[in-house]
A and B are shown apart, each in its own frame.
Chain A
Amino acid sequence: NAGVTQTPKFQVLKTGQSMTLQCAQDMNHEYMSWYRQDPGMGLRLIHYSVGAGITDQGEVPNGYNVSRSTTEDFPLRLLSAAPSQTSVYFCASTKTSAFNEQFFGPGTRLTVL
């Protein structure tokens, strides 16, 4: 199993550009989520999904959209990038258990100029 995969690994955008961060998992996990990690702020939840067709907002959802058309894929869209969205983004899937154990992807480092 590949686990959780993310593409691209690095990306540079100009303010106002749009892009989609891709995330896929092959573990048949129902739950998937997106986090951003910033120095001094820790991991913050952006959006999450409890199954195909169901998404919800996390702690910092503004400026981001998600959809979940299949169990495997959970893309994150930035419609109009801003410098405040410069961060490292992690996708994670969650084993269906009582303990919310997260399996993280390798991350995407995004810089918005």
Chain B
Amino acid sequence: TQLLEQSPQFLSIQEGENLTVYCNSSSVFSSLQWYRQEPGEGPVLLVTVVTGGEVKKLKRLTFQFGDARKDSSLHITAAQTGDTGLYLCAGGESGGGADGLTFGKGTHLIIQP
């Protein structure tokens, strides 16, 4: 069974600060996805990374896939209150459907004004 561990589990910081959350595994994944979930809603896909060492930027969010494709990080620069939510990472196996996706338990992020 593949496992994805996310850290920290909870993070509360002030608006304007920078932060990084991590997603780690002992398994190799063909792709790594990050989702954001707001209270009362379903997760929404932010980005998919597929190449070891790949870096993708989405405005103030920077996503990196580890060289060995076992880990990933999400860095937020100058956090805003609108960044508050649950951040989930999910590792994918090549060619699979939902049964080939492993979710981490998430990082609860609160950005205080």
Query: What residues of chain A have their CB less than 8 Å away from a CB belonging to chain B?
Result: 4, 31-33, 40-43, 45, 48, 50, 56, 58, 90, 92, 94, 98-107
The number of chain B residues touching the other chain, given as a range, is 20 to 34
Write the B89-113 contact mask toward A (1 if CB under 8 angstroms, else 0): 0101111111111011110000000
Interface residue from B33, B48, B50, B104 paired with A42 (Cβ < 8 Å): B104
B binding-site residues for A, Cβ under 8 Å: 30-31, 33, 35, 40-45, 48, 50, 88, 90, 92-101, 103-106
Q: Determine whether the beta carbon of B42 is less than 8 Å from that of A104.
A: yes
Could you write out 17 A-B pairs with CB less than 8 Å apart? A33-B97, A33-B99, A43-B88, A48-B97, A48-B98, A90-B42, A90-B43, A98-B95, A99-B48, A100-B93, A100-B101, A101-B48, A102-B43, A102-B45, A102-B98, A104-B42, A104-B43
Do B103 and A103 have beta carbons less than 8 Å apart?
no
CB distance from B71 to the nearest CB of A (A): 17
Residues of B within 8 A of A104 (CB): 35, 42-44
Q: How far does the alpha carbon of A110 sit from the alpha carbon of B54 in the complex, in Å? A: 39
